[in-house]
Structure 1
Amino acid sequence: MDAPEHRLPSGTSGLAAGFVAPPVGTGADKVDVSRLVQMLWRQKWLILGLTAVLWLPAVLLINAMTPLYSSSTVVVIDPHPNRVINIPSVSEPMGIYLDTVNTEVEILRSRDLAARVVEALNLGQEPEYAAPTNKPGLFSPLMEEGRTLLTEVTAMLPDSLAALLTPAPRPAAPTGNAQEREADRLTEAFQKNLRISPGVQSRAIRITVEAKDPQLAARAATAVADAYLAIQVEAKRKATQNASEWLQSRLDELRQDMTTTGRAAVEAMRSETGMVKGRDAPLVNEEMSALNGQLAEARTAHANAQSRLRQLQSVRPGNPESLTGADIGGDPLITTLRQRQAALNAQLAELRAQYGDRHPALNRPTAELRELNATLATEVDRVVRSLRGEVEQQVAKIQDLSRRLEGLRAESFDTLQADVKLRDLQRQADASDDNYRRAVTRLKETQVLQALEMTPDVRIVSAAAVPGGPVGPGKAVLAGLAAVVCGAIATGIALVRTMRQRGVYSSHQVEALLGLPAVGIVPLLGRAKRSARADDDPYSNTGGGDFAEAVWRLCARLHLVRTGAEPASVKGGEVVMLTSSVAGEGKTTLAVALSAFLADTGRRVVIVDCDTRRPAVHRLLGGVRPPKGLTDLLEGDATLDQVLHIDDRRRVSVIAAGRPVDRPQILLGSKAMLSLLVELAERYDVVVLDTPPVLSVSDALILAPLADRVLYVVRWARTASSLASAGIKQVRQVGGRIGGAVLSMVNAREHANLEYGARPPSGRSYRLRRIA
């Protein structure tokens, strides 16, 4: 008999009408924050539990920590201290520079100052600074044996490989005696507890010491400040002492230089030249200076007279403007004439403007102006002659003074040379005397300073006090940080755990990972429901319940429920095969429920148990295993009517698996199986095939091409997407027409969280109520 034609509607290509799977991996490179939050919310109890488990030991460890106390003292750099005596110090006080505070901070952090404090406080007797006991560790013998074994092994290896495996040499033992090593240890330990904090844009420096004993913290902070001040005083005293010793050694040299070299040379020079101090050379110099002053005055007078002469020679008596700016030497007559000339010019200008140029009234003023100009010209000539005589006198005076100055210069040249040498020797002698006197004076001042107590350039403005409470560790803050860290670790573990889950959790993942439409989501049917009374059978209870509604929804989406307006297919019933990737995914339960629900609608349904290795249909239907079944029919030991059994309660026809056979693949792939499916399709509206898992045996791959539609069952949160994809790929390769994937055994609440948000969708129940 020929194979049955494909009974799906045209154009669906094995998928339910209206369902198109999205491309695999669409949006895979985007991070869905809302789904990430939902995923963490589902793991909230795991996160809270891990956080509590990790946080409690951390809190116990924090509470066991020893409290620390901190005490501080503040010193301020004061470069202008009050002086008792007005004697400059040998070492200048520190100035206010950008690097002054930083330099003093490094001094406070120095090892020398820490060693002074350790010695002053005798920190070796304090419990927290006690020397640790050098007890061998628990694993020290094992580590020594391992080190010896590794050394022996590397000795037998080549040099290149031995160089990589040779253990590092042990650190060298500290040098020096036990007392020096103990002092170094105490100094390093104290430096770890010392904090030096410079002020921001100020000259204040805060000295802070942390200790387990509050009294020790206060004493240590005070000791650091005292040691710092003592170091400054010692540095000044030492500088003063060194200066005093140096001055004392230099006094003999300065005295010898003053008596033999300076004074003897001056007296010898005076005896040789016959010069008396302050008589010959200064007198010549004063006379030459006076002549220079006279010569300069004569040249200035000559220049002024020459300038006035040139100005008056350019004067035109008829032009009043030519006398403007001319130096007439304050002559009163010329000044009067110039004023009269200006008045007549103004009068003529007024008459010309009033009568014109030819009016008789202009004759008299014009004649008077001509006479005035002639008089003015005569006076100007007189002044010019006088200035010429004055210029000649100044020239003669300049010449005379120049001759006299040249004579003095020639006369005093030799005297000046001798005076220069004498002055040079005198300056050297005076310098020697001055050096000696200053050295003596400075030596006495230094001795006075050395006898006085030096004042440091810093002062304490805030003394250390015993702290009233611990400053650390901040147990509340540490506990909060520990809670945050433990929560982060727990969240990371939850994320890793979630990411490592390879199951399929929602219809979105079905479509994205498997490339199939999610045609159904069937909730988990508990054991209590599967073992319920006969009048409350979950497989036939089509009136209500989550499981029933899910199966109804699956039937509707697969177009298996026929309405009265739809004509029956003339091509016979439809063969629907259910399979899965591995065992235990609920496909048999779904096949029985699907058959029972379709039979409840009045359709003729037969379910065939094709899993001859592990038959389960008869067990789920509540009956005993029939003596004959599918294998008996295919081998010819029984007829179709003999293997068909009617479940009166569910109105479903059942063909059991039959007796076990060695090679069921041959029977399922035979012509008898094909003929059986054709005959069943003619008798019934829906033929449901319950087949073994695809990845376990090949039975389902043999039956897949014979079915009109294959429903691939995937167990929610258990079946890995890789297994489901592999099974679907194999079914497609053999020509199976997969109508979609069904998520089975779903936790309804968790699935609602995945599909819709943090909580399942709310609303009133739409379950049907049975009518009595």
Structure 2
Amino acid sequence: MEAPEHRLPSGTAGLVAPPVGSGADKVDVKRLAQTLWRQKWLILGIMALLWLPAVLLINAMTPVYSASSVLVIDPQPNRVINIPSVAEPMGIYLDTVNTEVETLRSRDLARRVVETLSLGQEPEYAAADGKPGLSTALLDGGRALLTDVAEMLPEPLAGLLTPPPRPAAGAANGAEAEIARLTDAFQKNLHISPGVQSRAIRISVDAKDPQLAARAANAVASTYIAMQVEAKRNATLKASEWLQSRIDDLREDMTATGQATIDAMRPGSGMMKGRDAPLVNEAMSALNAQLTEARSAHANALARLRQLQTVKPANPESMAGADIGGDPLIAALRQRQAGLSAQLAELRAQYGERHPALVRPTAELRDLNATLATEVDRVVRGLRDEVEQQFAKVQDLTRRLEELRNEAYSTLQADVKLRELQRQADASDDNYRRAVTRLKETQVLQALQMMPDVRIVSAAAVPNGPVGPGKTVLAALAALVCGAVATGLALVRTMSQRGVYSSHQVEALLGQPAVGVVPLLGRRRKSDPDGREEKAGGDFAEAVWRLCARLHLVRTGAAAATAKGGEVIMLTSSVAGEGKTTLAVAMAAFLADAGRRVVVVDCDTRRPTVHRLLGDGRPPKGLIDLLGGDATLDQVLAIDERRRVAVIAAGRPNDRPQTLLGSQAMLSLLVELSERYDVVVLDTPPVLSVSDALILAPLADRVIYVVRWARTASSLANAGIKQVRQVGGRIGGAVLSMVNAREHANLEYGTRPPSGRSYRLRRIA
């Protein structure tokens, strides 16, 4: 059966065992709070132990003051003259602000501030005394040990283990180390923070002296501005020196490529200028025009020649469209030819072809055609000469044009070179003029005071009060930390407990029914006027009564004991000191008070204690004597008149009681006692200490296993129960003994038992 979920108990000091059962993986916040509340005094004690030294240390802290100055990036300062600066002003960008912030955090700036303020003379920056610390001594000891070990090893290993020699600290190195130390210390106290969506930068310095904090913040701002002005001045000076060194080179370059050299090479290279273009180009243009005209004249003459070559002087129609070139003689002859032709046509029409009147005009016309043919031949010869002349002219012009083309190509190459030289000359001249102008500007800038790109809008003032350390906050934080540490220690101590704390754990861890929870029985003291021990005794009596009742309920049936014989109940435990003897005597007394016949047998022959609780002294004879045959049952039986309980003491000591306890005599004794008495209570030694209880366990009707509350580990109890089962013992349940009633009530029910008058048993006479 699954163990029910239960609440965890605390120990005698308010400790709680780890959860078991089905609720082991759940976190019960309420139970955790109750656990911490039960351990409040332990937690408060640890807190006080840790917190008081922390408070003393916090109170001993020196107050820290903070002073702040504010810079604003202003990249457009007022200029006296409009001369561009060598160092360009910073732009208004986010990366510009971040860059200047990193510049303010730089080590170089911090070093300058340290030297400016002479921070080495300030008490809070003063160097510690020259005595070596514990770490230095340990390092020196380690170096010496390595050196000694290396001397005992061979050469290769010795070289690996030998530490390098420590460098000698000279005066210069010492001063540099001191400056580096002061710079590191100052950088820890320097805080640079850019403004949110602005060009402002806040400079804050923490110091124990408020005057020093203000001076340091202002010194950082002033040093930063001085560094910026110095950077601009250095840039201007370097630019001026560079320009001065370049002036002579630029002057020589300008002279070498000057305009005079270019003008001197023009006549020799043929690059003489005309009205609108170079001479070669103008000549080519004129020659092209002449060539075009010559080609046109040649073509016209050639066309006229070909046309006249097809003319027949005797045919007037062929002469009609011919271009005679405006010759007046040919024109007159053609006119005379036309008149004679018309006259002949008229005569033929009047007289016919054979009339004598036609002879003379026909002869005239024939002579006229011969003359006209002669003149046409003359014109043709003239045109032929003209064609030849025009062709020769075209050839000559073409040749001359080709020569000019070649000359123009050479001239073009010279012009390209000339233009290149011209550009170089112009560039050299321009560079020289620019360099001279810029040199004069930089010389003017050197004479002027450089204007920084930032300005101070708020100088640091001496702070009125400290900003830290916040002693109240630190004390509260220390209290929280100490409380957490104390709570953790209490929980660790709780989780380290491995005892059994509740009836739920008895069932979950031991697998046995919890038949009783018996509180711790204290002794009555004279200093107890309010009867607390009496109340505790009443609680103990009530718990024993409850245990007896549960033991009777476990039995099946309601028949009287005499009908079946008495019942043998054995009480045992894992180790000594778990209260089983007190519980056995109390059970016997309460059962006897209820009218039952009860006998208690002290089977713990090694450490007998039953006779101390039920008698005034140790009886002369007991169990060992009875089992050894040296006494009878009636001789060893003793009656406690007050409690009406029969007792058999342990008897004389014996080296090997296991032999007697496992003998037939012991079995016969138990049978006889069960016939005489209703209940036989056997008080046995611990199971894990000796084997006596394991020998007697099979002889008992029931074994009641006693587990001391918050002391007996569950592993020990499980081991004891397992051994009892292995020998055939019938375990009737487990009893938690010596229980803190208040703590157990918190465990079982989650609340403390109600205050007020409690029920008490009557006093046993």
Report the TM-score range of the alignment, normalised by the length of the smaller protein: 0.7 to 0.9
Structure 1 distance, partners of 2:482, 2:567, is 58
Normalised TM-score (structure 1): 0.73
Structure 1 distance, partners of 2:620, 2:512, is 39
Q: How has the CA–CA distance of structure 1 residues 143 and 117 changed in structure 2, closer, same or farther, with 3 Å as cutoff?
A: closer
Structure 2 distance, partners of 1:138, 1:185, is 20
Give the equivalent residue in structure 2 for 1:14: none
Deviation at 1:503? 1.9
Give the equivalent residue in structure 1 for 2:377: none
Contact 2:271 2:279 in 1 (8 A): no
Aligned with 2:200 (options 192, 196, 204): 204
Contact 1:193 1:209 in 2 (8 A): yes
Structure 1 distance, partners of 2:733, 2:527, is 30
Give the equivalent residue in structure 2 for 1:651: 644
Contact 1:578 1:712 in 2 (8 A): yes
Give the equivalent residue in structure 1 for 2:431: 435
> Which SS does the other structure have where 1:469 is aligned?
coil
> Which SS does the other structure have where 1:222 is aligned?
helix
CA deviations over 1:34-69 (Å, ceiling 9, x no partner)? 444333332221111011011111111111112221
Q: How has the CA–CA distance of structure 1 residues 556 and 478 changed in structure 2, closer, same or farther, with 3 Å as cutoff?
A: same
Q: Which runs of 5+ in 2 are unaligned?
A: 7-18, 286-400
Structure 1 distance, partners of 2:429, 2:273, is 21
Deviation at 1:459? 1.6
> Which SS does the other structure have where 2:257 is aligned?
helix
CA deviations over 1:604-627 (Å, ceiling 9, x no partner)? 211111122222222212533333
Deviates more, 1:171-180 or 1:55-64: 171-180
Structure 1 distance, partners of 2:660, 2:202, is 96
Aligned with 1:710 (options 678, 703, 712): 703
Aligned with 2:589 (options 583, 593, 596): 596
Structure 1 distance, partners of 2:60, 2:494, is 36
CA deviations over 1:614-654 (Å, ceiling 9, x no partner)? 22222212533333222222222222222222223322222
CA deviations over 1:472-499 (Å, ceiling 9, x no partner)? 2222222222222222222222223223
Aligned with 1:523 (options 519, 523, 527): 519
Structure 2 distance, partners of 1:760, 1:709, is 34
CA deviations over 1:254-297 (Å, ceiling 9, x no partner)? 23333342212331244444645984369999xx9xxxxxxxxx
Q: How has the CA–CA distance of structure 1 residues 656 and 145 changed in structure 2, closer, same or farther, with 3 Å as cutoff?
A: same
Normalised TM-score (structure 2): 0.74
Structure 1 counterpart of 2:277, which letter? Answer: D
Structure 2 counterpart of 1:743, which letter? Answer: L
> Is 1:33 matched up with 2:28?
yes
> Which SS does the other structure have where 1:99 is aligned?
helix
> Is 1:101 matched up with 2:97?
yes
> Is 1:724 matched up with 2:717?
yes
> Is 1:116 matched up with 2:109?
no
Give the equivalent residue in structure 1 for 2:497: 501
Task: Report matched runs for 1:402-417 at 5 Å.
Answer: none
Deviation at 1:219? 0.6
Contact 2:704 2:733 in 1 (8 A): yes
Q: How has the CA–CA distance of structure 1 residues 149 and 451 changed in structure 2, closer, same or farther, with 3 Å as cutoff?
A: closer
Deviation at 1:588? 0.9
Structure 1 distance, partners of 2:217, 2:84, is 32
Contact 1:502 1:720 in 2 (8 A): yes
Deviates more, 1:451-460 or 1:202-211: 202-211
Structure 1 counterpart of 2:723, which letter? Answer: Q
> Which SS does the other structure have where 1:742 is aligned?
strand
Structure 1 counterpart of 2:639, which letter? Answer: I
Give the equivalent residue in structure 2 for 1:679: 672
Structure 2 distance, partners of 1:525, 1:689, is 21
Contact 2:70 2:202 in 1 (8 A): yes
Structure 1 distance, partners of 2:143, 2:415, is 93
Q: How has the CA–CA distance of structure 1 residues 19 and 526 changed in structure 2, closer, same or farther, with 3 Å as cutoff?
A: farther
Deviation at 1:712? 0.7
Aligned with 2:252 (options 252, 256, 265): 256
Task: Report matched runs for 1:313-328 at 5 Å.
Answer: none
Aligned with 1:280 (options 266, 277, 282): 277
Deviation at 1:501? 2.4
> Is 1:546 matched up with 2:539?
yes
Give the equivalent residue in structure 2 for 1:767: 759
Contact 1:506 1:751 in 2 (8 A): yes
> Which SS does the other structure have where 1:606 is aligned?
strand
Aligned with 1:751 (options 722, 744, 754): 744
Deviation at 1:183? 2.7
Q: How has the CA–CA distance of structure 1 residues 650 and 167 changed in structure 2, closer, same or farther, with 3 Å as cutoff?
A: farther
Deviates more, 1:60-69 or 1:497-506: 497-506
Deviation at 1:548? 1.8
Task: Report matched runs for 1:555-704 at 5 Å.
Answer: 555-559=548-552, 566-568=559-561, 570-704=563-697
CA deviations over 1:160-203 (Å, ceiling 9, x no partner)? 99899x68667544566143333333223222322222334443
Contact 2:2 2:22 in 1 (8 A): no
Contact 2:5 2:22 in 1 (8 A): no
Contact 1:511 1:518 in 2 (8 A): yes
> Which SS does the other structure have where 2:563 is aligned?
coil
Structure 2 distance, partners of 1:537, 1:257, is 121
Deviates more, 1:713-722 or 1:146-155: 146-155
Structure 1 distance, partners of 2:510, 2:613, is 29
Structure 2 distance, partners of 1:431, 1:147, is 71
CA deviations over 1:52-93 (Å, ceiling 9, x no partner)? 011111111111112221112222222222222111111111
Contact 1:574 1:685 in 2 (8 A): yes
Deviates more, 1:437-446 or 1:21-30: 21-30
> Is 1:460 matched up with 2:452?
no
Structure 1 distance, partners of 2:4, 2:699, is 24
> Is 1:128 matched up with 2:124?
yes
Q: How has the CA–CA distance of structure 1 residues 456 and 20 changed in structure 2, closer, same or farther, with 3 Å as cutoff?
A: closer
Q: How has the CA–CA distance of structure 1 residues 521 and 277 changed in structure 2, closer, same or farther, with 3 Å as cutoff?
A: farther
Deviation at 1:663? 2.3
CA deviations over 1:441-492 (Å, ceiling 9, x no partner)? 2111111111101111122222111112222222222222222222222222
Give the equivalent residue in structure 1 for 2:221: 225
Structure 1 distance, partners of 2:584, 2:591, is 11
> Which SS does the other structure have where 1:280 is aligned?
coil
What number of residue pairs does the alignment pair up?
627
Contact 1:595 1:652 in 2 (8 A): yes
Give the equivalent residue in structure 2 for 1:340: none
Deviation at 1:205? 2.3
CA deviations over 1:89-119 (Å, ceiling 9, x no partner)? 1111122344323322232222221221122
Structure 2 distance, partners of 1:743, 1:530, is 29
Deviation at 1:525? 0.6
Structure 1 distance, partners of 2:533, 2:138, is 68
Structure 1 distance, partners of 2:181, 2:5, is 71
> Which SS does the other structure have where 1:689 is aligned?
strand
Give the equivalent residue in structure 1 for 2:385: none
% same residue: 74
Aligned with 1:476 (options 465, 472, 475): 472
Contact 1:21 1:516 in 2 (8 A): no
Structure 2 distance, partners of 1:761, 1:159, is 80
Contact 2:524 2:533 in 1 (8 A): no
Structure 2 distance, partners of 1:22, 1:199, is 60
> Which SS does the other structure have where 2:203 is aligned?
strand
Deviation at 1:678? 0.5
Give the equivalent residue in structure 2 for 1:370: none
Q: How has the CA–CA distance of structure 1 residues 141 and 452 changed in structure 2, closer, same or farther, with 3 Å as cutoff?
A: closer
Q: How has the CA–CA distance of structure 1 residues 70 and 277 changed in structure 2, closer, same or farther, with 3 Å as cutoff?
A: farther
Structure 2 distance, partners of 1:764, 1:616, is 36
